[in-house]
Each structure stands twice: as structure tokens, then as C-alpha cells.
Amino acid sequence: MKKFYDLLDTRYSLPLLVKIAPFTDTTPHVGIEIKGKRLYSGPVTKEIDLTHSIYNDDSIDLKITISGKDYNKDQESALMFKTMIIDQVDVTSYVIQNAVYKTDMPWETYDKPTNHLGWNGQWSFASDKPFFHIKHDIKNYGWLLVPELSKD
């Protein structure tokens, strides 16, 4: 008989939604990937909803790359990361708080949480734990116990 923790070996597909929008009328070239799969490539002129699916025990790996922005001609255009919802759980603030924004500016890594992407570079979120752990944290369900290996 399987224990509860073993049941998580079953791979359930969960819907994932990412919303992005331009800060101004246009944006430079934008590339968006989730777990290595390109979901979007090109300029963003209106709010876009991107859908994908992950498995319950998958970690999340989101990359948004901005390139081709000429700061001498265009200082205001930017992309806004609006929302990320997985299996009807809004993980937006969790993603924003834990994302890393590596830019082409002298400081290289923007070290404050942000959803305003206005520099060439890559804004990325990578979790080191599966989605069900993140959901557990966000919902404040308490501790997750990791089973010990049997000594038999």
C-alpha cells in the first residue's frame, strides 16, 4: 500500500497562466520561456495571456528576456509581469519576490523585487522545489514532512 507521500509520484497536469503587458505602447523584443519551452517571441503591443501546463511535482522555471532596447532613443518602454496562476493558485507575488533580474547595466543584477522590466537582460524565476511545496507555502498549510528512508 502506498503512503501519502508516494502518491505524489502520480503526475497530474496543472494549468499555468502568465500575463504580461507593455508599460508603454510598445516594447523591445521579448522572449518568454517556461521550463525551456518558448511561449512567446516578439514585441508586446497589448496584454498577452500565455497558457502552458506543468505537473504537480515539477519545479517552475520562467525566463523573460528583453533585447534590442536602445536607451538613447527609448528610455520609457518596458514590460510588466502581471500575473502567474497555477492550478487556480495565484503565485504572482511569490514569483516577483524570488525572481532575479540580470541586466546590461553597470550594476548587472537588479537586486530589488520588481515586475517592471525596462532594461535589456533576463528576468527569471527558478524554484528549487516542486509546485505543490510552493502551493503549501503560499496557502500557509504548515510544515511538510520529508519521509525517512526505511532502515529495513
Render pLDDT for 20-46 as a digit per residue (tens, 0 to 9): 999 988 788 999 999 999 999 999 999
Q: What fold does the segment set 4-138 form as a domain?
A: Lipoxygenase-1 (2.60.60)
- 3-7, 54-58, 87-91 — which is least confidently predicted? 3-7
Mean pLDDT of the chain: 87
Question: ∠ at Cα 31 (27, 32), nearest 5°?
Answer: 115
Kindly indicate the confidence band of residue 116, based on its pLDDT and cuts at 50, 70 and 90: very high
Q: Are 127 and 60 in contact (CB under 8 A)?
A: yes
Please answer whether residues 38 and 32 qualify as being in contact, where contact means their C-beta atoms are separated by less than 8 angstroms: yes
pTM: 0.84
Tell me the C-alpha distance between 118 and 126, whole Å: 20
Amino acid residing at 122 = Q
Mean pLDDT across 43-70: 92
